[in-house]
Chains A and B, each alone.
Chain A
Amino acid sequence: MISLAERQYQFMASLLAEDADPLEDSSSKLSAGLAIYRNNYRTTLIEALLDTFKRTARWIGDEVFHQAAAHHVIVNPPGGWTLDDVGAGFDRTLAELFAKDQEVSELAWIEWSMHRAFGAANAEPLTALAFADATAGFGEKDWSTLGLDFVPGIRTCLVHHDVAAIWHACDTDDVSLPLYARDEPLACHVYRDGEQPAFITAPAFENPALDAMVNGAHFGDVLDVLLTLRPQESAVADAGAMLGRWLNNGFIIGLRT
């Protein structure tokens, strides 16, 4: 008799297969039942993707989205217990499928990051006043070795399109292009504002700066990078303005000195 492990391995392989096994006897009750499970499996995953990537779906159209989603779940069958993870890597799948329309994967990256931020741990952002108090006595060395803790779920990337305009176009159903392509890239930060996931665009240099500081870099390291990109006075002023924006947007929850 077939073992339980072997039966489950075969059953799962049949669900994951792109098409029904042509050798299966389609008239048998087992095959008819299996076809229902195969359909349920595919439908559940595609609906989960549609739920997470509503604007991406609107941007490329439901039918094309459906094909892309089906391709994604065939190439990346889920492994974890939470259906939430089904969207992991979907932006990369779309980057391959829409290599000439990079805005599609940019939009998907934003939606995926917002989805992750939605369930991230709670944390209270530091107010600008509290930050000013904490740094009032700082000398040059203190600024240089300053580290920051950020709200859980914050992520950043570089985008090459006016993603805010695309986002709003999706809201209004007006997805008839202008192209929204930009000559210069922008940084795009995703975070949670209270209970509401949000994204904001910023000058491109904020992308490596935020990425580095979220991963533990000191403010001095970030300043060094900025100095390679811009003249000294404007680099220092830019870094100060960037910190101010991060504080005002509620990105920062603590200081490490």
Chain B
Amino acid sequence: MVRCLPIPHEQAPDLHCNEKHIMTPEISPYAGFGIGLRTDHYGDFIEHDVPVDFVEVISENFMLEGGRPLRILEQIRTKYDVILHGVSMSVGSAHGIDEAYLARLKCMAERIDPLWISDHLCWTRTSAHNSHDLLPLPLTHEALDTVCRNIDHAQNILGRAMLFENPSSYLTFPEDEMTEWEFIAAMARRTGCFLLLDINNIYVSAHNHGYRANDYLAGIPHDHVRQIHLAGHTPGPIIIDTHDRDVADGVWSLYKEALRFLGPVATMIERDGNIPPLAELLNELDIARSLAGYDALQAVS
């Protein structure tokens, strides 16, 4: 059984875990610029006013009963908008979604009041085992049906639309029946979910599977995209999506191209390894701002 814990301090958002209360928060069409929050930078975010519009956290790192991580997140929540980005929902699993996981995520969302909740278009588990990795799906009609059924269920339980991120991948399956962008377009249309577009993932997969990244950008439903991830990768015959270095030049170019299709979209830098001082990530975020014509955006708003 999942227990929702009381919010321990006065400034936290006034929310309660109530199974009968259905939340229908709007997904903001434009949420600005942000950073993936990592432990090395907790102090920066708590002690200073970091120039970001939001932070994104890995949901599972905070799905605990209590202790320091939750206290820190609630402290950060009083100063910044927060996005809950999950890695364990496994909407591609033929065996469905772990109900205990969903219940716990729902409690977490009611406690934190995030801008939105996201996860990945992938699978991580079978009924018996969990890979703790974002594994690729065969692009078949059966997989599409499974993903849509699981997303419908998750969105119903959570009482809100979610965002799903396009994966990076290192293989394709002989049984594939459509392109990834066709799969994603159908998924968004059928479930009403929104998209978190990882530009680096498009770059990585386009290289690894030999398609044109621009075809991908042209093929996704642009009006469903609510967030962009920018990250670094490790080059090679098969590019590995390592998130442990600066955003590559080719990814910046693709970001610029994506913005031509999409217009203003919430954008963040996602770093998971070799975490540098926060200032370095903020510099990268400034590059994104300038490519997005941030000054012009400000003037319009």
- B126, A33: Cβ atoms under 8 Å? no
- B238, A36: Cβ atoms under 8 Å? yes
A32–B124 Cα distance when bound, in Å, is: 19
Q: Which residue of B lies closest to A118 (CB)?
A: B67
The interface residues of chain B lying within 8 Å CB-to-CB of A12 are: 126, 128-129, 131
- A8, B94: Cβ atoms under 8 Å? yes
A152–B3 Cα distance when bound, in Å, is: 14
- A36, B170: Cβ atoms under 8 Å? yes
Interface stretch, picked from B57-65, B106-114, B191-199, B261-269, is B57-65
A45–B66 Cα distance when bound, in Å, is: 24
- Select B60's contact among A3, A82, A123, A195, beta carbons within 8 Å: A82
The interface residues of chain B lying within 8 Å CB-to-CB of A78 are: 129-130, 132
- Does B212 sit at the interface, judged by CB under 8 A? no
- Does B200 sit at the interface, judged by CB under 8 A? no
- A8, B66: Cβ atoms under 8 Å? no
- A41, B169: Cβ atoms under 8 Å? no
The interface residues of chain B lying within 8 Å CB-to-CB of A195 are: 67-68, 71
The interface residues of chain A lying within 8 Å CB-to-CB of B240 are: 36
Q: Given A1-B140, A44-B132, A195-B71, are A82 and B66 neighbors across the interface (CB < 8 Å)?
A: no
A77–B124 Cα distance when bound, in Å, is: 13
A141–B250 Cα distance when bound, in Å, is: 77
Size category of the binding interface on chain A: 35 or more
A44–B66 Cα distance when bound, in Å, is: 25
The interface residues of chain A lying within 8 Å CB-to-CB of B171 are: 29-30, 32-34, 37
- Does B47 sit at the interface, judged by CB under 8 A? no
- B142, A3: Cβ atoms under 8 Å? yes
Q: Which residue of A lies closest to B144 (CB)?
A: A4
- Does B16 sit at the interface, judged by CB under 8 A? no
- B170, A33: Cβ atoms under 8 Å? yes
- B175, A2: Cβ atoms under 8 Å? yes
Q: Given A3-B142, A4-B138, A29-B171, are A79 and B94 neighbors across the interface (CB < 8 Å)?
A: no
Expressed in whole angstroms, the minimum distance between the Cβ of B31 and any Cβ of chain A is: 27
Per-residue A-contact encoding for B268-292, CB less than 8 Å = 1, 0 else: 0000000000000000000000000
- Does B260 sit at the interface, judged by CB under 8 A? no
11 contacts between A and B (CB under 8 A): A4-B142, A30-B171, A37-B131, A78-B129, A79-B130, A81-B88, A81-B90, A81-B101, A82-B60, A119-B69, A152-B66
